[in-house]
Chains A and B, each alone.
Chain A
Amino acid sequence: MSTIKIPKHLNRFVTFCKDGDEIPNELSSFVPQKPDLKGFPYPLPSAKSEYTCFANQGDIVWYGATTGLTRYDKNAKRDADRIMYFSADRYLYDNNVLAIFVDGDKVWVKTETGVVCIEMIPMTAEEKAHYMTEETVKYVTRHGMISHKYLREARNLDSKLPYGECDNDGGFTAGHAIGEIYKYAYYRSEYGDNDPRTVKAKKLATDSVEVALLCMNITGRGNGFAARTFLTRDEPVPDGYFFKKQGDKAYCIASPATLRRGIAGMVIDASTPVPDRLARHYRDEGYCDDDIIYKGDTSSDEITLHYMMMLNAYDFLVDDDDELRQIIVDTTQKLTEHIVDNEYRLIECDGKATLWAKWHEEYFTTPDGWADACLNSAELLMYLKVAEHITGDERWIKEYDYLINERHYDDYMLLHKDRFYHASYVLGCDPCEEMMYGDNMLAIMSYWGLLRLEKDEARREKFIKGLRTWDHTLLRETTPGYLFPLKSVYEDMPIDKEATIDWFIRFNPSRLASGVTYDRADVPIQPMLNGYKLTGWLLNQEERFIAKYDRDPLRFTKGESDTRKVEGSYVYTMGYWIGKFYGIIDDEE
């Protein structure tokens, strides 16, 4: 497949005017004139009767409606660019457009509750990647971890709250780290070690990897158990399995969750020191080890992403960093020992498995585990293969061979689609209602690792068959972050060129999670069996909700908007840099 060229493209930048801001007088004196849309050849996001005014910007026309703003470019080269929709909360204060004033490149729009200024600014895909990373590093990181951040004031990134953990901080940070690793690898291969871009990328990648490894080592238990996330002393502790470190011990904080489990107040070992290299990420902020509260009950989400983070760091980042390499080797070894020695489970302080980190066959025979078996078996095989690659310990390849030859874990992998459909039937819902979208990324990571490292053709063929049982979920999205890792190890992974270009050029440069309006005349709503709804076509990123890799991009939502939340960038950056490195995409000259 030839490299897909991503053109430079206009991106939406919106300034929400506040009281006291200078606003053109023309906006107040604007006289709305209903546009004549008879015979308009394309579907419009508002019903024709809803349009109330318009303004010209050269060959482009901006139409205002009671239900949002439409930009029409009859000369657009790409079909998807012909009609663009701007709606509240992301682009307007509200959807009732009262006036439009075009002032050169700026488009001022007055709605019932405020005025915005829209600019369409051309950016390359690479520029966008950097823009997003800067936003993420500045606004989204919490002790170096990256998932999302809440804001005190709507739309004001500078008002970010200093706290706000997420259940999967560790996993999302690992995902972010993978993107940064590939950025470094790309710049290194293109420009050499000493180029400023390479140097900067290496620092960012190294920081992210260290923070992800910190999550894995922060418990101090010394048995390989990884934490989901961690807080510091001045952050509120929500409900969940949280442990406060104190000297060489940690005690389980009482909460409804820990009380239910019967571990509240339990005191456990925390004597294994956290490597300084990793601990500096909180020590440099003025915290000490005793200020750390970490979250347990870790799931396979974190573990899976961590393994692939470690694999990629090992292969691309640490060839000249012995210290970090050794930390990766030790962490991998300890974690894998934990899983294998505990019969393929992650064990909490009470000796029982965590809720969502089970890879043993007994779990596969339970109602929950029966459908999970197909993904979990792939995960475990990947862990062992990666562990063997990083540590060189033959024990792991023996375990891997045993699971395939004796326990037939690779056969489970072939059953994903069948069991998934079966499970949705049992629940009486359509498959997409039953789907855990986060599982897509876990499947990607598992198959990516397996196909990268497994050289035996027969086993590869079986793994590919297993991977293709995920087509019904993966291919409905056209998400580079899914497809590019797989393409790098599996030549025949189908990639839609035009959809890929659209994905990159129409991706929001900012990850502020303000919502958009879904109630559109040009978007059919598709109800599912259990009330879930889909959009009739895959909307461009700019015109759909902002989320991580954990939500159905086809989901129809109404009223879901968070102007006080900003997401991390790895949904874009991971796919972008992997694509660049492997030559799947490039920016057009």
Chain B
Amino acid sequence: MNKIHLIGNAHLDPVWLWRWQDGCNEVMQTFRSALDRLKEYDFFVFTCSSARYYKWVEENDPVMFAEIQDAVKQGRWIIVNGWWVQPDCNIPSGESFARQALYSQTYYYEKFGKICKTAYNVDSFGHNGNLPQLIRKSGMTNYVMMRPSVHENSEMPKDVFWWDGIDGTRILTYRILNCNYAVNGKENLDKTIKFYDEYVENLNHDMMLFYGVGNHGGGPTRADIEYLNSILHREGKPELEFSNPEKFFSEVLLDGADLPVWSDDLQHHASGCYSATSMIKQQNRRVENLLYGAEVFDTIASKFYGSDTEKEQLKEAWEKVSFNQFHDIMCGCSIMEAYEDARDSFGYASTVAQNVMNKATIKIARNIDTWVDGVSEPYSEVRHNSGHPEFAKPVVVFNPLSYDVSVPVRVYQKSRNVKDSEGNFILHQNIRSSRSNDSHQDTLFIADIPAFGYNTYWVDGPDETAKEFISEIKTENLTIENSFIKASFDKNSGGITELIDKISGHEYCKGKILAVPTIIDDHETDTWAHNVFTFHNIKDTMNCESVELVEQGPVRAVIRCKFAYNKSTLVIDYILASGQKTLRAKCKAIWHEDFTILKMPFDIGGSDAINTYAIPAGFIKRPTNGEEEPAGRYGDITATVDGKRVGLAIVNDAKYSYDCIDTELRLTCLRNVIFADHYSDRPPANFNFTDEGLQRFEFGIYLHEGECENSDVEYESQIFNIRPTVVLESFHKGNLPQKQGVINIDKDNVCVTALKYAEDNSGDLILRMYETKGKNITRVAVVSDIFDFGFYTDIHAHEYKTFRIGKDSRVLDTNFLEGLT
């Protein structure tokens, strides 16, 4: 007969309806309680997740921490979830998951002599389709989850199953039934056990019952433990056993039952959470991007100069990010005060990243040979901001991406001209700056920067004989175009009435107006939008107040659309730059509409439509069924129109939610609901709303022919998010050339997410990358002269690889833990 494994646990939310300080205390008290129960009952076993909690105990009560270490050694305290917290499993990037694992599992290994084998997210709202791989690469092989519940997704296997990720990685997964993750009290225990008694009768494997006071901590009580101990062996009924998840999984395997296989993501629960509290989402993306770039150049600078890296600082910054990725924080459903804390800690992480980046780029830039014969004032000459400078000023632009880029770059001063490092004039334009003094103008030019590298440009030189450029930027009335896109705007609605992919020739509007900001009524849901999976109740569209061409030049043209609705406003600057395939939309909203969602729709028409959404280190296909979908840097709609497959992707720098009704893809720009409004009947109060006030964000429109994954959408979304860093340099000799790329990867469907040194201070290099088009690739060449390595690798479709490169140039293909285990 099958068994019911009793899992003593405490569901600990470090932040939710309380701030982190209370969460810390909650952990301390719960752990004390659990330790006391272990002493009192020699059969009791306690299971708990999250490295952050253990670290809190270590920091605040080393004596208690030593007790926990002892209990772990005895096998009575089971650590699960080799991550910093139980994060949201849709929003963090692939690299964030890697860091969750790296810092946690190394912590566990150091403190407890082992790593976790069981991933554990009993409350996280959804689980992206790449999670099996992310879990395996974290050193874990089993997974405990709960949401979505059966009533939210009845197609998924109900309890134990093999879960296949997008790359084919398979993990053994257990789904907690009926939200039974914190059963406590005799009555609830009886009810749950009765349910399981009947349930396991028809099964070919055991089940788990999670007991213990939870959400705000607590853990198993004496009464519950004694009661359960008294009913372990019941005549004719399944046996109960004090157990732990690892034991459960091991017994399921030994049972030899054929288990169902699930090959899709695990969604939906709390569909509203992927757009609520835009601030936290924006901070997350922004800081992830900043940390990536900072670490890349910190590593490169360290290599150039043999200096120490800022590894410890960056680790601390990542720990802040990891904490803020806790599901109740990242999903925007905690109390308002908690977001002030989160903003502070993201601010800390952001400052660290920017300091590190600054230090590294200055170090590199100062050693580039920028000397010009005849310069007598090498420092003050470049600081000269008016009049007639004698020499062009060197500007170094840094690109941390693994792709070569050709993108607009801004220098905060006006220029007569711009030249590249070979002395050729290049396209530039003086544009309105954000300041209102002196010339009010900045310089914009298109910079070509190698992957993992930099390039030096020379601005505002005395040579006035600039080449006459034939710019591809054209404007006429309210139409802007370059060699890739043509977009025309409607002065009445502010939307797009003509949108042409100039490569394929396809026109996307076909009589419809795209990109009219649409307001959805959201009165009837709570912060999570429990049991609501679509947001189709259109309240209105925003009124267009003006559409005007505000800028035109050889580098870019800008059309500004202003909208208003009641007291809310939205200004969108549509920016089309030379050589760019994405039409950028820079948005500034001042929002006062309570219980609303703002969406930006694009209906491309056609048939056989399919959505493609960015997920952590990958992408997933979804049907265009109108459900709200979590997604990362892009969402795409591709359909057959006029016999051709064409697509439109919306890339973004701060958003995580889309929907698509048939062929209309909509970016969810903001969601303004009450903070932490949980099934509430809302007794009157001066409510605070999650997205009220000023919101700045950007999205972009990228057009393509053929299926999404065969296009450059990944590249476009990367350059949209990670922009070059600009350093105004002085004149000096140096041992570095004016242009250099440090690592070359010869295939374009590979994206790097980390370049760093190994955490163990060995001096080994870590390079992490994933395949972006869902295709197997063989013999990818990865070469670096500076770092003195060169290797080939096969990468399977969607595979996420971490390489550890030794000082002897030998390479280990390892996992997120860098070869720790």
**Are A and B bound to each other?**
yes
**Does A131 lie at the interface of the complex (its beta carbon under 8 Å from any beta carbon of B)?**
no
* A311-319, A485-493, A520-528 - the one binding chain B: A520-528
* B256-264, B345-353, B480-488 - the one binding chain A: B256-264
Among B259, B744, B792, point to the contact of A536 (Cβ < 8 A): B792
**Does B412 lie at the interface of the complex (its beta carbon under 8 Å from any beta carbon of A)?**
no
Which residue of chain A is the closest to B257 with respect to CB atoms? A422
Task: Tell me, rounded to whole Å, the shortest Cβ–Cβ distance linking B797 to chain A.
Answer: 11
**Does A435 lie at the interface of the complex (its beta carbon under 8 Å from any beta carbon of B)?**
no
Among A418, A472, A526, point to the contact of B259 (Cβ < 8 A): A418
**Does B42 lie at the interface of the complex (its beta carbon under 8 Å from any beta carbon of A)?**
no
**Does B810 lie at the interface of the complex (its beta carbon under 8 Å from any beta carbon of A)?**
yes
Give A367 to B813 CA distance when docked, in angstroms.
33
Hey, which chain B residues are within 8 Å of A419, CB to CB? 258
Among B256, B259, B785, B813, point to the contact of A38 (Cβ < 8 A): B785
Give A472 to B168 CA distance when docked, in angstroms.
9
How would residues 12 to 56 of chain A score, 1 for a CB under 8 Å from any chain B CB and 0 otherwise?
000000000000000000000000001111111001110000000
Check B162–A525 contact: CB distance below 8 A: no
Hey, which chain A residues are within 8 Å of B259, CB to CB? 418, 422
Task: Tell me, rounded to whole Å, the shortest Cβ–Cβ distance linking B741 to chain A.
Answer: 11
Give A79 to B259 CA distance when docked, in angstroms.
43
Among B162, B778, B791, point to the contact of A418 (Cβ < 8 A): B162
Give A44 to B254 CA distance when docked, in angstroms.
46
Residue pairs across A and B with CB atoms within 8 Å: the count is 92
Check A421–B258 contact: CB distance below 8 A: no
Give A437 to B793 CA distance when docked, in angstroms.
22
Among A39, A80, A536, point to the contact of B793 (Cβ < 8 A): A536
In chain B between 752 and 797, which residues have their CB closer than 8 angstroms to a CB of chain A? 778-779, 781-783, 785, 788-794
**Does A426 lie at the interface of the complex (its beta carbon under 8 Å from any beta carbon of B)?**
yes
Hey, which chain B residues are within 8 Å of A426, CB to CB? 253-254
**Does A397 lie at the interface of the complex (its beta carbon under 8 Å from any beta carbon of B)?**
no
Given contacts A521-B791, A524-B813, A525-B812, contact A79 B785 (CB under 8 A): no
Give A328 to B779 CA distance when docked, in angstroms.
46
In chain A between 417 and 439, which residues have their CB closer than 8 angstroms to a CB of chain B? 418-419, 421-422, 425-426
Hey, which chain A residues are within 8 Å of B261, CB to CB? 418
Task: Tell me, rounded to whole Å, the shortest Cβ–Cβ distance linking A138 to chain B.
Answer: 36
**Does A267 lie at the interface of the complex (its beta carbon under 8 Å from any beta carbon of B)?**
no
**Does A519 lie at the interface of the complex (its beta carbon under 8 Å from any beta carbon of B)?**
yes
Task: Tell me, rounded to whole Å, the shortest Cβ–Cβ distance linking A496 to chain B.
Answer: 8
Give A559 to B188 CA distance when docked, in angstroms.
62
How would residues 366 to 377 of chain A score, 1 for a CB under 8 Å from any chain B CB and 0 otherwise?
010010000000
In chain B between 240 and 256, which residues have their CB closer than 8 angstroms to a CB of chain A? 253-254, 256
Among B789, B809, B813, point to the contact of A525 (Cβ < 8 A): B813
Given contacts A421-B162, A426-B253, contact A536 B779 (CB under 8 A): no
Among A39, A43, A370, A421, point to the contact of B791 (Cβ < 8 A): A43
In chain A between 521 and 560, which residues have their CB closer than 8 angstroms to a CB of chain B? 521-527, 534, 536-538
Check A527–B814 contact: CB distance below 8 A: yes
Check A536–B794 contact: CB distance below 8 A: yes
Task: Tell me, rounded to whole Å, the shortest Cβ–Cβ distance linking A223 to chain B.
Answer: 34
How would residues 65 to 86 of chain A score, 1 for a CB under 8 Å from any chain B CB and 0 otherwise?
0000000000000011000000
Give A419 to B259 CA distance when docked, in angstroms.
9
**Does B552 lie at the interface of the complex (its beta carbon under 8 Å from any beta carbon of A)?**
no
Interface residues of A, CB < 8 Å — how many? 35
Hey, which chain B residues are within 8 Å of A524, CB to CB? 791, 793, 803, 811-813
Hey, which chain A residues are within 8 Å of B791, CB to CB? 43, 521-524, 536
Hey, which chain B residues are within 8 Å of A525, CB to CB? 810-813
Hey, which chain B residues are within 8 Å of A421, CB to CB? 162, 170
Which residue of chain A is the closest to B253 with respect to CB atoms? A426
Give A189 to B254 CA distance when docked, in angstroms.
54
In chain B between 423 and 452, which residues have their CB closer than 8 angstroms to a CB of chain A? none
**Does B808 lie at the interface of the complex (its beta carbon under 8 Å from any beta carbon of A)?**
yes
Check A519–B810 contact: CB distance below 8 A: yes
Give A527 to B804 CA distance when docked, in angstroms.
12
Among A47, A522, A534, point to the contact of B788 (Cβ < 8 A): A47
Hey, which chain B residues are within 8 Å of A519, CB to CB? 810
Task: Tell me, rounded to whole Å, the shortest Cβ–Cβ distance linking B354 to chain A.
Answer: 33
In chain B between 243 and 289, which residues have their CB closer than 8 angstroms to a CB of chain A? 253-254, 256, 258-259, 261
Give A421 to B261 CA distance when docked, in angstroms.
11
Given contacts A38-B785, A426-B254, contact A526 B170 (CB under 8 A): no
Given contacts A40-B790, A44-B790, A522-B790, contact A425 B253 (CB under 8 A): yes
**Does B141 lie at the interface of the complex (its beta carbon under 8 Å from any beta carbon of A)?**
yes
Give A538 to B796 CA distance when docked, in angstroms.
12
Give A48 to B810 CA distance when docked, in angstroms.
11
Task: Tell me, rounded to whole Å, the shortest Cβ–Cβ distance linking B251 to chain A.
Answer: 11
Given contacts A425-B253, A524-B793, contact A79 B813 (CB under 8 A): no
In chain B between 81 and 98, which residues have their CB closer than 8 angstroms to a CB of chain A? none
Hey, which chain B residues are within 8 Å of A49, CB to CB? 788, 809
How would residues 160 to 193 of chain B score, 1 for a CB under 8 Å from any chain A CB and 0 otherwise?
0010000010101000000000000000000000
Task: Tell me, rounded to whole Å, the shortest Cβ–Cβ distance linking A466 to chain B.
Answer: 14
Task: Tell me, rounded to whole Å, the shortest Cβ–Cβ distance linking B452 to chain A.
Answer: 15
**Does A204 lie at the interface of the complex (its beta carbon under 8 Å from any beta carbon of B)?**
no
Check B792–A537 contact: CB distance below 8 A: yes
How would residues 459 to 501 of chain A score, 1 for a CB under 8 Å from any chain B CB and 0 otherwise?
0000000000000100000000000000000000000000100
Check A537–B794 contact: CB distance below 8 A: yes
Give A537 to B256 CA distance when docked, in angstroms.
34
Hey, which chain A residues are within 8 Å of B785, CB to CB? 38-40
Hey, which chain B residues are within 8 Å of A48, CB to CB? 788, 809
Hey, which chain A residues are within 8 Å of B788, CB to CB? 47-49
**Does A263 lie at the interface of the complex (its beta carbon under 8 Å from any beta carbon of B)?**
no
Which residue of chain B is the closest to A522 with respect to CB atoms? B791
Check A536–B811 contact: CB distance below 8 A: yes
Give A250 to B130 CA distance when docked, in angstroms.
61
Task: Tell me, rounded to whole Å, the shortest Cβ–Cβ distance linking A84 to chain B.
Answer: 13
Give A525 to B813 CA distance when docked, in angstroms.
5
**Does A415 lie at the interface of the complex (its beta carbon under 8 Å from any beta carbon of B)?**
yes
Which residue of chain B is the closest to A50 with respect to CB atoms? B809
How would residues 115 to 144 of chain B score, 1 for a CB under 8 Å from any chain A CB and 0 otherwise?
000000000000000000000000001000
Give A265 to B763 CA distance when docked, in angstroms.
65
Task: Tell me, rounded to whole Å, the shortest Cβ–Cβ distance linking B49 to chain A.
Answer: 21
Give A524 to B781 CA distance when docked, in angstroms.
12
Check A521–B253 contact: CB distance below 8 A: no
Check B794–A538 contact: CB distance below 8 A: yes
From B254, B779, B814, name the one whose CB has the most chain A CB atoms within 10 angstroms: B779
Given contacts A41-B783, A426-B254, A537-B794, contact A521 B813 (CB under 8 A): no
Give A450 to B803 CA distance when docked, in angstroms.
43
From B141, B783, B813, name the one whose CB has the most chain A CB atoms within 10 angstroms: B813
Check A47–B809 contact: CB distance below 8 A: yes
Check B254–A521 contact: CB distance below 8 A: no
Which residue of chain A is the closest to B814 with respect to CB atoms? A527
Task: Tell me, rounded to whole Å, the shortest Cβ–Cβ distance linking A77 to chain B.
Answer: 15
Hey, which chain B residues are within 8 Å of A367, CB to CB? 256
Task: Tell me, rounded to whole Å, the shortest Cβ–Cβ distance linking B818 to chain A.
Answer: 12
Check A370–B811 contact: CB distance below 8 A: no
Among A38, A41, A422, A523, point to the contact of B811 (Cβ < 8 A): A523
Among A370, A415, A499, A523, point to the contact of B792 (Cβ < 8 A): A523
Given contacts A80-B779, A418-B261, A536-B813, contact A521 B790 (CB under 8 A): yes
CB-defined A-B contacts under 8 Å, sample of 27: A40-B783, A40-B790, A41-B783, A42-B790, A43-B783, A43-B790, A43-B791, A47-B809, A47-B810, A80-B779, A419-B258, A421-B162, A425-B253, A426-B253, A522-B791, A522-B792, A523-B811, A524-B793, A524-B811, A524-B813, A525-B810, A525-B811, A527-B819, A536-B793, A536-B811, A537-B793, A538-B794
* For the complex of A and B, 10 pairs with smallest distance between CB atoms: A43-B790, A47-B809, A526-B813, A524-B811, A524-B813, A537-B794, A521-B809, A536-B793, A536-B813, A426-B253
Besides A48-B809, A415-B258, A499-B778, 7 more A-B contacts (Cβ < 8 Å) are: A40-B790, A421-B170, A522-B792, A525-B812, A534-B813, A536-B792, A537-B794
